Structure 1
Amino acid sequence: MRRRALLAALATGPLLTACESEGDEATGTLRIATGSPGAVYYRYGTAIAELARRFLPNVHTSVLSTAASQINVDYLLEDIADVAFTQADIAAGNEASHPRHLAALARLYDDYIHVVVGAGGPIASFDDLRGRRVSVGAQGSGTAITADRVLQVMDITVERAQLGLDESVKALRDGRVDAFFFSGGLPVSAIAELAKQFPIRLLNLADSVQPLRRTYGNYYAERVVPSSTYAGITATVAIGIANYLVVRLSMSEPLAYGVTRLLFEGRDDLAKTHQAAARLNIRSAISTPPLPLHPGAIRYYRAQKA
């Protein structure tokens, strides 16, 4: 009952500030840049859109399926999207202008870099990828950028294919690639479905974490994919990267406040779509380096004494 009351309150505007004016209602467009339909960004973003349509009635909401992190940042900067999912290392950008134009609403959850191979094949370690045909992710994706960085710091050359998640899954199953990279929250549904039909192995990435941190910054951490995540795998060390929900600094404060509040007060409903949404934590959500928090998000967190 309490959760339903909180969600119902969203339809009539924020309750958590002492003084609100009629002009403080969330209005405008909310074009959400996500990722491929088989991955977490798309499912999470679609669930946010559904809640926004119900509880932010003066906001026109739509979902954009994209190659994910890098193109999502580009879409924000080009005013093609209003809010986007992106990895922390991509949010930092290759240009100093990014932090001046973008702001975060929240740190959402951690992505895990997967390197997936067939369980019955000859590839048992990351070093075995040398000279192999490997999908490094779709052009414009965060996966592609992080995969390039991992291969570089490990000094491994592969025959590259740039395929999205769904295409990578099919190519591995059909024998057209020997391995593929993908960055996503656990579990990635497309990989889970693959594991049910085609035995897979995840490669251990422990040796790449510290070189990545030394070369590219402290956006990377050692994380373990539990054995229960995908059928047939053993617990495997992966690379963790924080995910942010990012907007332009020019977004109106009421809209940024409304979306931030929706994330937390609609968390149970969002988690029904993907369990990554349940990992949203108000203490860690405010940590979004190098991006600042949007003033609308700050207003929400201050009201919650975060």
Structure 2
Amino acid sequence: MTGRTPSRRGVLRAALLGAGPASVLAGCSEDTGPARRLRFATGAPGGPYNAFGKALAAQAARTVPRLRVTPVSTSASVDNLLRLGAGSADLALAMADAAEDAVRGRPPFPGPAARVTALARVYVNYTHLVVPARGPVRSLRDLAGRSVATGAAGSGGQVLAGRLLRIAGLTGDRAVRQRRLGLAASVDALRDGTVDALIWAGGVPTPALSELARRFPLRFLPLEAEAKTLRDRYGPVYTAVTLPAGVYGLTEPVGTIGVANYLLARSGVPSQAAREVLWVVFDRWRVLLDEVTAGARLEPRFAVATGDVPLHPGAVAYYRSVYG
């Protein structure tokens, strides 16, 4: 960020002061200015990003009538970042690893994405490596030569799966046969036996996996060691998290890999529009997160932690105006 942008440390200190977003929303909702129309690149229909986008659009219509958010179905993270860079989307969701690749200009991005900025870190994806409970696969390395659903082309899950397979040495003669399938198709393929495993990064519980677990015995493989290796190799976008006992019928916790999701904005989005989006997000975060992950909270001290992705000037103004 430039010298005109406050440090995240400063924003965190300011977050201890001031009134909450609801009081700001009250004044905003009375504004009779022209409607602001924002295209929101989300994800596949039925998926968590798409659900979040629809919920945000609905809540914006209720709380800031002049703010018109239009969810757009996409292939998710990588596709969304490319759309922001091209200017065909105004808002987007993306996994943190893909977002940082975009701002650094790492493949598959053609160069540093100067148009990509962050509004907030909104929730954490948990990596699910799922196999049939009665099958022979009991570890990541047992997948050598097998068929694995690794996420839809253009998704952040595909980026994560590729890195996970590389650090496990599942390349060359030991390479898996990757099937680039979205969540619904991955679940169907695992149930039907046309893939031996699926890799999915999403909220907990993911409804499609909960439903499958009720009808089809599953094993969720631990990835604690891989979380550390990914963090050492690629940086702090990767963290160690735990699938809790009870979810998906698990009898004990399973350690795995966490990756944050960022709510992003094209740098050219007007600052006031960015602030209005954040007013909605912080006022209605319970409704928004209920659509994608259970038990999560949205707090300013975590929301501003967007790594190498710079905060949008409107986000900076929002955090300053609301939290001191």
So what's the TM-score if we normalise by structure 2?
Answer: 0.84
Of residues 272, 279, 293 in structure 2, which corresponds to 1:261? Answer: 279
Structure 2 partner of 1:79? 87
Deviates more, 1:103-112 or 1:267-276: 267-276
Structure 1 contact 92–99 (Cα < 8 Å) conserved: no
Question: Residue 113 in 1 paired to residue 119 in 2?
Answer: no
CA contact 1:257–1:296 (8 Å) conserved in 2: yes
Among candidates 132, 138, 155, match of residue 124 of structure 1 = 138
Alignment of 1:100-249 (within 5 A): 100-156=114-170, 157-232=175-250, 234-249=252-267
Distance verdict in 2 for CA 1:30–1:166, change over 3 Å: same
Summarize the Cα distance change of 1:244–1:256 in structure 2 as closer, same or farther, 3 Å threshold.
same
Cα distance in 2 between the residues matched to 1:118 and 1:284: 36
Tell me which residue corresponds to 1:16.
none
Change (3 A) 1:140 1:274: closer
Deviations 1:66-90 (A, max 9, x none): 2211111111112222111111111
- 1:274–1:202 Cα change, 3 Å: same
RMSD: 2.3
- 1:271-282 matches, cutoff 5 A: 271-275=289-293, 278-282=296-300
Q: Secondary structure at the match of 1:139?
A: coil
Distance of aligned partners of 1:91 and 1:276 in 2 relative to their CA distance in 1, 3 Å threshold: farther
* Cα distance change, pair 62–236 in 1 and its aligned pair in 2 (3 A): same
Query: Structure 1: which amino acid aligns with 2:159?
Result: I
> Are residues 210 and 282 of structure 1, via their aligned partners in 2, closer, same or farther at CA, if it must alter by over 3 Å?
same
Q: TM-score of the superposition, structure 1-length normalised? A: 0.89
Closer, same or farther in 2 for the Cα pair 1:218/1:273, shift >3 Å? closer
Change (3 A) 1:26 1:211: farther
Tell me, yes or no, if the aligned pair for 1:270 and 1:278 is still in contact at 8 Å.
no
Partner of 2:77: 69
Distance 2:54 2:251 in 1: 29
- Contact 1:200–1:232 under 8 Å retained in 2: no
Q: CA deviation at 1:10?
A: 4.3
Q: Is the 8 A contact 2:286 2:297 kept in 1?
A: no
Task: Give the total of aligned pairs.
Answer: 295
Aligned-residue offset at 1:3: 9.6
Residues 103 and 277 of structure 1, relative CA distance in 2, 3 Å threshold? farther
CA contact (8 A) 2:77 2:95 kept: yes
Q: Flag the 1:173–1:10 CA change in 2: closer, same or farther, 3 A.
A: farther
Gapped regions of structure 2 (runs ≥ 5): 1-19, 106-110
